[in-house]
Each structure stands twice: as structure tokens, then as C-alpha cells.
Amino acid sequence: MENTIVKAENYNSYFGDNHVVKDVNISINKNEVIAVMGPSGCGKTTFLRGINRMHELIPGATSKGKILLDGENVYDMNAIYVRAKIGMVFQRPNPFPNLSIYENVIAGYLLNGIKVSKADKDVIVERSLTSAALWKEVKDSLHKKGTFLSGGQQQRLCIARAIAMQPELILFDEPTSALDPISTSSVEALFHELKANYTLIIVTHNMQQAARVSDRTAFFYMGELVEFDDTKQMFTNPADQRTQNYITGRFS
């Protein structure tokens, strides 16, 4: 399908001899919000980190199979190029403590040594912060350090930093698990707006969050992709018994 942005074909990940992602086949469309859920240790984060080749940075970590980004296998591409093309937001907000809010947003350009004119930088910063619903709150303190912001603001700053690189795809690794409920809802509200321009893959162990924010949900269990379906469908009438058990809280 030409609308497909990411496609995994028989994708496997390992930590040494430990097989953590098993033969995953999945196809994700443009401008979709995908939730990836499952119990701890089910391989959901490892799968996510395989998409932008962050997995292999851990000593002993390897992978097999293909992940196609716009039809091209990311494992045939330069890893640095792949990571620049795909945005990522982590579990804990991690703005660069040595940079200001302004510099944090354009960190992808600054740190890569990409020359951008001052006027262009201003445009990128305003546009990215606006998209991340943070512009109004920080527009008067752009040159303060990013670490002075609250947790939720820091996380939105990290989203702005990812957006600034104009990725098509943004990966979220449990983006709200370190945030309080108010910050969580501000980040969740953002997902709906980002959908218009980006494809989002959100790893979460919070089922309510998956139900609230996503179009389709993938359920991982013991390294396998058990079920991948329309979110409503999955939460009301799951096809697999294991999904049913997870959703109804028979294990977590």
C-alpha cells in the first residue's frame, strides 16, 4: 500500500542470546496514531527502538529482519541518517541541560553542525514550539535553560525538538510515565493535533491512554505481536484470548 510509512517484515531483536522481539510483521499508515501496549518486558520498547536503530546502541543488542521506512530498509541505510529522519521522545524528559529552550528546539541542527540563518532558526523555533503547544508558555523565556521548565513542559520541549527536524514519523517511548496527571493530559491532547502532520507510534503500558489517543493498537506479549487492530475493536472485542486477558486485567 502506498499509504504505508513503516513496515516491519519478520523483525527480530536480541539482547545477546535473549530473544526479545519475535518475528514481528506490522504495517503502519501515514498520519496514524499507533499505540503499542503490553506488559513490562514484552518487547514493545525494544521494537520501537529497532525502528530508528537505537536498539543496536546497547552493547550485545542485535536484530534480524527488515524495517521498511517509505519502502526502504532502515538496516540498509546509514543509522545516523535514519535517526535524523525519525523523531523520538523518551520516557523521561531529557532536554539538553547545557542549552537554552531556543537552542534545545534547534538542537538537531546545532549539534549536527547544520548551518541555518538566524531568521530561519526563529521560524523553526516558533513553529515547532507552537506545534508542541508550548510557544505561549515560553515565548518570553526562550533564552533560559530548558531544565527550568516543569516536567510536562520539558516533555513538550522534547517533542518540539523532535518536530523541528521535520520528521514524518515520531516515536514515543512511554512519554507520560514520568509525568503527573495534568502534564500527561497536556501531552495527550497534543497527540491529536500532531496527527495531522505526523505519524505517531506511542509505546505505553497505560491501557486507558492507548484507548484515548490511538487509532490502532498493537498488543505485544512475550516478544510477539499478538494482535494489531482498530483501537475500538480491540478494546471492545479482542480477537485473541491473551489480549482479552490483558485488557480485563487478568495479568499486567
Partner 1 sequence: MEAKIGTRNIKSMIFKGIIVFFAFLITLPLIVILLYIIKQGITQVNWHFLTNVPAPPGEKGGGIVNALTGSFIMVLMASIVAVPVGILAGIYLSENPRTKLAYYSGLCVDILQGVPSIVVGIVVYFWVVKPLGGFSAIAGSIALAIMMLPIIIRSTEQTLKLLPDSLKEAALSLGVPYHRVILKVIVPCGFAGILSGITLSIARIIGETAPLLFTALGNNFFSLKITGQMESLPHVIFTYATSPYDDWHDLAWGASFILLMFVLTLNIVTKLLTRKWKIQL
Of 2 and 17, nearer to partner 1 (C-beta) is 17
The least distance separating partner 1 from the CB of residue 198, rounded to whole angstroms, comes to 15
Query: Which range, of 16-24, 128-136, 161-169, 193-201, touches partner 1 by CB under 8 A?
Result: 161-169
Q: Quick one: which of 145, 195, 212, 242 contacts partner 1 (CB under 8 A)? A: 145
Burial 163-186 (b: 16+ CB within 10 A, else e): bbbebbbbbbbbbbebbeeebbeb
Of 98 and 237, nearer to partner 1 (C-beta) is 98
CB-based contacts of 89, cutoff 8 Å, min separation 6: 155, 158, 159, 162, 170, 171, 172, 173, 175
The answer to whether 138 contacts partner 1 (rule: CB under 8 A) is: no
Q: Quick one: which of 12, 13, 46, 52 contacts partner 1 (CB under 8 A)? A: 52
- Contact characters 68-107, partner 1, x per CB under 8 A: ------------xxxxxx-xx-x-x-xxxxx--------x
Closest CA to 84 of 69, 103, 63, 100: 69
Q: Quick one: which of 24, 26, 33, 54 contacts partner 1 (CB under 8 A)? A: 54
Q: Quick one: which of 33, 101, 124, 158 contacts partner 1 (CB under 8 A)? A: 158
The answer to whether 66 contacts partner 1 (rule: CB under 8 A) is: no
The answer to whether 129 contacts partner 1 (rule: CB under 8 A) is: no
Of 44 and 83, nearer to partner 1 (C-beta) is 83
The least distance separating partner 1 from the CB of residue 57, rounded to whole angstroms, comes to 6
The least distance separating partner 1 from the CB of residue 92, rounded to whole angstroms, comes to 6
The answer to whether 197 contacts partner 1 (rule: CB under 8 A) is: no
Of 81 and 182, nearer to partner 1 (C-beta) is 81
The answer to whether 116 contacts partner 1 (rule: CB under 8 A) is: no
Q: Which residues bind partner 1 (CB under 8 A)?
A: 52, 54, 57, 59, 80-85, 87-88, 90, 92, 94-98, 107-108, 110-113, 145, 147-148, 158, 161-162, 165
